Amino acid sequence: MSRAVITGVGVVSAFGVGAPAFFRALEEGRSAVGPIRSFDASAFPVRVAGEAPIETIRANWLANQAVELAGERNDLSRLFEGWERDGMLRDRKIGLGVLAALEAWAGAGLGATSADALSIIAVGLEAGFLDDLAAIYKSDNPARFDWQAERSAPLPRVRLRSPVNLPAECVHRALGLAGPLVVEVSACAAGALVIARAASLIERGAADVILAGATDSMVNPMAMGAFWKLGAPSPRPAPDACRPFDRRRDGLAIGEGSAMFVIEREERARARGARPLARVIGWGSTQDAHRATAPRPDGERARDAIAKAIRRAQIHPSQIEYINAHGTGTPLNDPAEVKAIRGALGEAAERVPVSSIKGAVGHLMAASGAIEIAACLLPLERGVIPGTAHHKERDPECDIDIVGESPRRSDVRVALSSSFGFGGQNAAVILERCG
Amino acid sequence: MQIRPARPIPVTAVGCASALGFSWKGFCRGINKREIQLVEPTELRGSSPRVLAAEVPPIPAEFDAGDARQHKLMSRAARLAAVAARQALRDAGISAPRDGVGFFLGVGASGGAMSDLLAVLGASMEGDGVSLAKLGDKGLSASNPVGTFHLLNNFTLCHSAIIEGVTGPNGAFFSRGGGTVFALMEALNAIDEGECDRALAGGADSALHPVTWAELVREGYLEPEQTRLGEGAAILALAKEAAEPIAFIEGCSLHSVSGSLADADKRAPHLSALSRLMAAEVGASSNVDLIALAPWGGPAREALRSFATDVCPEAKLIDTTAALGDSLAASPALAWAAAIDALAEGIAERALVLSAGIDGQVGSVILSSPTGAPLGGRS
């Protein structure tokens, strides 16, 4: 059987553009959740987020960043200008995803020879553009919109909402890929599931190289409002809004960003001289099938996903030396997740260090699983376990070894990342250090 | 990319909701005879009056899934998926508890109610534009607290999983064609790799939503006089072993035609060549006596038809989207259902289903009758 390895990684987060900025900030134990800058949120109940440090994504900024990450490419400037003209860059996850993908592809040392690669990209909800809707809203006849006006309206081409698959298509176009493109929409489990699918297809021999990752941004008025109505975000508009596994936790902080990976057959990677960053050795997925509005409080299906990943990896639970938890900081998620970890790892759960990076970068929704798998590369590659930003008070309901705010030095060979989606989808992925 | 399981995977049941009603039996005949009555869809009356489409009729109580409280949380596509999933599980004899049953679904765009959107906008307008100050206060207060459940794309799958207690490996894939084929590939892979012994796979979507409609028009995909839109859901129940399968899936593949299908004329020649490659990949260059097509729009239809008549001139042809309308994520799965009906009716022994969505993703699936001698072979 051929193993799947990660040979390229790209990250855009609240810490900035590029994986080095992300790893450096985690290593230093920083947090980047703060006041929203990309729109005036002063009247909103949610006013903080883990926002990428760019107020408005424009073509020239994107082109400059792309040069930094992947070298000079004239065609990209023209491409990005077209996207700006067509209104596409208003969907923030497009720009964030493209940059992460360019970094991953360049980091893996891949070029046009792998242009037929399969891409599996996770994205979140469509970005809705309220101003476009307002333009066709007929206040004198609130029963309907003026659709005729919508049809005859000039540019931008992308109006009302950004199609779900558009961010993934943009990644494809920017990389010049021509292979099949799969768009996963499994909510907050999606970013982990795409890595699992990629590894499975590579082990099976159905693909040699896959671009897999996720991009998402809910940092816009409509999405922030929708999540507020669900009661998920913390009611405190403070930088420590998200306090995973803390006794005082009261909700999540919304984040945005992207993490992309090049995943390929280990033999292929080594034959072309690429350095594998980690091996993807296990994965599992389950469905809570519980309620639309809440996770299973007993964590049993999440436990099953972790247990399946361990079985697939053919390891003993005690071999897991770090868990990057879903750890949303909501009252319901964290204790259920602790039960899941205990259930799957048994006695080994007492010793394994667990942390969540959501206090530091926010909840990246569809991209959360992907960026958290990227975070697992830090202990595997540099021996540093990320801390849990804003975790100060131990909760008796979460009485496992939660790594506090400060990162911890540890020699980690095997790391597990778990992700649980709104709607009940659960995923777990296990990485192993290469070499 | 292709998936060919070690052994053909048995199909044990099909669940279906389409403009033809709520059964897959007689589906092929209904499509061929064009027994579909086009109607002015309820959702589009306000935005696109006089447009005719293939709308699923009101759901009879005996086919419905979920209770009134759950229905409030469900989009149109989620309702249709739930109908199809219930039927597939029941007919496959997969009774509760359904622990470990896999579920992979091609799903569409958000299906929020326009009335919810109007309520938010109405409370947030200041002059000709939206005031963020008003949106953050009155707009949010006016919004439907459960509206998010209509919006989240994965809930087209999750509502069915919750209602039916399906807890195995899963995935929701956005689909304008290709994602639904990938859902089937993932189900085949999950069974073949031993991740689950039974799985549901299919697609559910409604193209009859005002914003989806406007989006398709603006993207250049929709010529209302040429393209018939529809809605529906089809879900196959698959098993590692089955005593009485209704069909086998030998394999499937997914490819991409570069460029936009808005340039469908440019793509058509590539489509024909690609179909040939894909048919060869799934072992269907010969021995196929039925080809079911699910193309989006005229150029793709011509390309797939041309392939069919060149390579398998003797094969019978059914065109599911021409009859049922294009229902985006549901289209490939409805074509699989039609092919399975043809196999069950003895109309054919081995069927190739080709789908070409507006996303440029082209899928092929090869199905065979349980009475025939399916070909195997693992890739």
CB contact under 8 A, A423 and B154: yes
For residue B102, the distance in angstroms to the closest alpha carbon of chain A comes to 8
B40-61 pLDDT, tens per residue?
888 888 777 778 889 999 999 9
Residue A186 with chain B: CB contacts under 8 Å: 154, 170-172
A406-410, B4-8, B360-364: segment of lowest average pLDDT = B360-364
Interface mutation target, options B48, B152, B191, B359, chain A, most CBs of A under 10 Å:
B152
Banded pLDDT at B375 (limits 50, 70, 90):
very low
> What is the dihedral angle through the alpha carbons of B327, A217, B112, B222, rounded to the nearest 10 degrees?
-40
Residue B49 corresponds to which tokens in the numbers above?
Answer: 């009056």
Closest CA to A95 of A64, A73, A71, A116: A64
Residues in A 209-238 with any Cβ partner in B closer than 8 A: 221-222, 225-230
> Regarding predicted confidence, which is higher, B107 or A73?
B107
Interface mutation target, options B43, B86, B146, B218, chain A, most CBs of A under 10 Å:
B218
Residue A425 with chain B: CB contacts under 8 Å: 154, 158, 170-172
HSE of B227 in the Cβ direction (CA atoms, 13 Å)? 26
Angle at B316 between CA B310 and CA B320, to 5 degrees: 100
Residue A188 designated active-site: yes
Residue A309 corresponds to which tokens in the numbers above?
Answer: 């990943």
**Contact call for residues A183 and A168 (beta carbons, < 8 A):** yes
What percent of chain B stands above pLDDT 70? Answer: 89
Banded pLDDT at B223 (limits 50, 70, 90):
low
Asked if A75 has any chain B CB less than 8 Å from its own CB, the reply is no
DSSP A373: H
> Which string of DSSP letters, residue by residue, matches B166-192?
B-SSEEEEE-SSHHHHHHHHHHHHHHH
Closest CA to B184 of A265, A280, A182, A192: A182
DSSP A125: S
CA A195, A198, A201, A203 torsion-angle sign = negative
CB contact under 8 A, B151 and A227: no
CA B190, A349, A191, A243 torsion-angle sign = positive
> Which string of DSSP letters, residue by residue, matches B145-156?
TTHHHHH-TTHH
Residue B83 corresponds to which tokens in the numbers above?
Answer: 């109908």
Asked if A118 has any chain B CB less than 8 Å from its own CB, the reply is yes
Interface mutation target, options A185, A227, A228, A263, chain B, most CBs of B under 10 Å:
A185
A180-239 pLDDT, tens per residue?
999 999 999 999 999 999 999 999 999 999 999 999 999 999 888 888 888 899 999 999
Q: What is the pLDDT of residue A404?
A: 97
For residue A428, the distance in angstroms to the closest alpha carbon of chain B comes to 11
Task: Point out the residues of chain A with pLDDT beneath 50.
Answer: none
Residue A137 with chain B: CB contacts under 8 Å: 118, 121-122, 125
Other CB atoms within 10 A of residue B69 CB: 9
**Contact call for residues A402 and A335 (beta carbons, < 8 A):** no
Tell me: pLDDT of B262 over 50.
Answer: no
* C-alpha–C-alpha distance, residues A67 and B296, integer Å: 38
* C-alpha–C-alpha distance, residues A6 and A8, integer Å: 6
HSE of A394 in the Cβ direction (CA atoms, 13 Å)? 7
Q: What is the pLDDT of residue A202?
A: 97
Q: What is the pLDDT of residue B378?
A: 31
CB contact under 8 A, A133 and B117: yes
Where helices occur in A153-252 by DSSP H, the ranges are 166-175, 190-204, 221-230
Helix/strand/coil for A5: strand
For residue A404, the distance in angstroms to the closest alpha carbon of chain B comes to 33
DSSP B372: S
Asked if B214 has any chain A CB less than 8 Å from its own CB, the reply is yes
CB contact under 8 A, A118 and B1: yes
**Contact call for residues B147 and A229 (beta carbons, < 8 A):** yes
How many beta-carbon contacts under 8 Å exist across A and B? 228
For chain A, the distance separating the N- and C-terminal CA atoms, rounded to the nearest angstrom, is: 18
Q: What is the pLDDT of residue B281?
A: 64
* C-alpha–C-alpha distance, residues A415 and B261, integer Å: 42
DSSP B139: I
Closest CA to A224 of A102, A362, A63: A362
Residue A183 with chain B: CB contacts under 8 Å: 173-175, 179
> Which string of DSSP letters, residue by residue, matches B242-310?
-SS-SEEEEEEEEEE-SS-GGGHHHHHHHHHHHHHHHHHHTT-SSS--EEEEEESHHHHHHHHHHHHHH
Other CB atoms within 10 A of residue A43 CB: 17
Banded pLDDT at B111 (limits 50, 70, 90):
confident
* C-alpha–C-alpha distance, residues B168 and B146, integer Å: 26
Q: What is the pLDDT of residue A115?
A: 82
Which position among A170, A172, A242, A326 bears the catalytic label? A326
CB contact under 8 A, B219 and A205: no
Q: In this complex, which of B154, B182, B211 lies closest to A160 when CB atoms are compared?
A: B211
For residue B197, the distance in angstroms to the closest alpha carbon of chain A comes to 14
**Contact call for residues B234 and B181 (beta carbons, < 8 A):** no
**Contact call for residues B284 and B352 (beta carbons, < 8 A):** yes
Asked if A332 has any chain B CB less than 8 Å from its own CB, the reply is no
CB contact under 8 A, B130 and A130: yes
Interface mutation target, options A114, A172, A183, chain B, most CBs of B under 10 Å:
A183
Which position among A170, A242, A363, A376 bears the catalytic label? A363
Where helices occur in chain B by DSSP H, the ranges are 27-32, 68-72, 76-91, 114-124, 132-134, 140-142, 147-151, 155-164, 178-192, 210-218, 264-281, 297-311, 320-324, 331-344
* C-alpha–C-alpha distance, residues B317 and B77, integer Å: 28
**Contact call for residues B136 and A224 (beta carbons, < 8 A):** no
Q: What is the pLDDT of residue B374?
A: 44
Helix/strand/coil for A280: strand
Asked if A139 has any chain B CB less than 8 Å from its own CB, the reply is yes
HSE of B82 in the Cβ direction (CA atoms, 13 Å)? 28
Q: What is the pLDDT of residue B269?
A: 64
CB contact under 8 A, B154 and A425: yes
Tell me: pLDDT of B106 over 60.
Answer: yes
Look at strands A181-184 and B170-174 and give their pairing.
antiparallel
Nearest chain A residue to B210, by CA: A147
Residue B168 with chain A: CB contacts under 8 Å: 286-287
For residue B120, the distance in angstroms to the closest alpha carbon of chain A comes to 10
**Cβ density class A133-163: b for 16+ within 10 Å, e for less:** bbbbbeeeeeeebebeebeebeebebbbbbb
Task: State how far the alpha carbon of A30 is from the alpha carbons of A244, A407, B152, in Å.
Answer: 15, 10, 32
Asked if B241 has any chain A CB less than 8 Å from its own CB, the reply is no
Report the predicted TM-score, pTM, of the whole model to 2 decimal places: 0.96
CA B258, B260, B261, B264 torsion-angle sign = negative
* C-alpha–C-alpha distance, residues A100 and A102, integer Å: 6
* C-alpha–C-alpha distance, residues A295 and A308, integer Å: 19
Q: In this complex, which of A40, A164, A184 lies closest to B132 when CB atoms are compared?
A: A40
CB contact under 8 A, B167 and A157: no
* C-alpha–C-alpha distance, residues A402 and A353, integer Å: 6
Give the rounded distance of the alpha carbon of A4 from its chain centre.
20
Nearest chain B residue to A187, by CA: B154
Report the length, in residues, of chain A: 435
- Residue A306 belongs to what H/E stretch? helix A300-313
Asked if A87 has any chain B CB less than 8 Å from its own CB, the reply is no
HSE of B9 in the Cβ direction (CA atoms, 13 Å)? 32
CB contact under 8 A, A285 and B170: yes
Helix/strand/coil for A33: coil
For residue B251, the distance in angstroms to the closest alpha carbon of chain A comes to 12
Residue B166 with chain A: CB contacts under 8 Å: 287, 289
CA A284, A99, B360, B76 torsion-angle sign = positive
Residues in B 263-322 with any Cβ partner in A closer than 8 A: none
**Contact call for residues A360 and A409 (beta carbons, < 8 A):** no
CB contact under 8 A, A197 and B166: no
Measured N-to-C along each axis, helices B178-192 and A190-204 cross at an angle, to the nearest 10 degrees, of: 60
Asked if A155 has any chain B CB less than 8 Å from its own CB, the reply is no
**Contact call for residues B356 and B345 (beta carbons, < 8 A):** no
* C-alpha–C-alpha distance, residues A28 and A360, integer Å: 11
Asked if A1 has any chain B CB less than 8 Å from its own CB, the reply is no
Where helices occur in A13-91 by DSSP H, the ranges are 19-27, 59-70, 74-85
Banded pLDDT at B361 (limits 50, 70, 90):
confident
Residue A369 with chain B: CB contacts under 8 Å: none
Asked if A186 has any chain B CB less than 8 Å from its own CB, the reply is yes
Rounded to the nearest 5°, which phi and psi values hold at B156?
-60, -35
Q: What is the pLDDT of residue A352?
A: 98
Report the length, in residues, of chain B: 379
Interface mutation target, options B124, B174, B175, chain A, most CBs of A under 10 Å:
B174
**Contact call for residues B60 and B36 (beta carbons, < 8 A):** no
Closest CA to A428 of A295, A334, A278, A320: A320
Helix/strand/coil for A356: coil
CB contact under 8 A, A145 and B47: yes
Banded pLDDT at B266 (limits 50, 70, 90):
low
* C-alpha–C-alpha distance, residues B62 and B175, integer Å: 29
Task: State how far the alpha carbon of A346 is from the alpha carbons of A249, A339, A350, A400, B348, in Å.
Answer: 26, 10, 8, 12, 53
Q: What is the pLDDT of residue A162?
A: 86
B316-349 pLDDT, tens per residue?
999 999 999 899 999 999 999 999 999 999 999 9
Banded pLDDT at B285 (limits 50, 70, 90):
low
Asked if B377 has any chain A CB less than 8 Å from its own CB, the reply is no
For residue A198, the distance in angstroms to the closest alpha carbon of chain B comes to 11
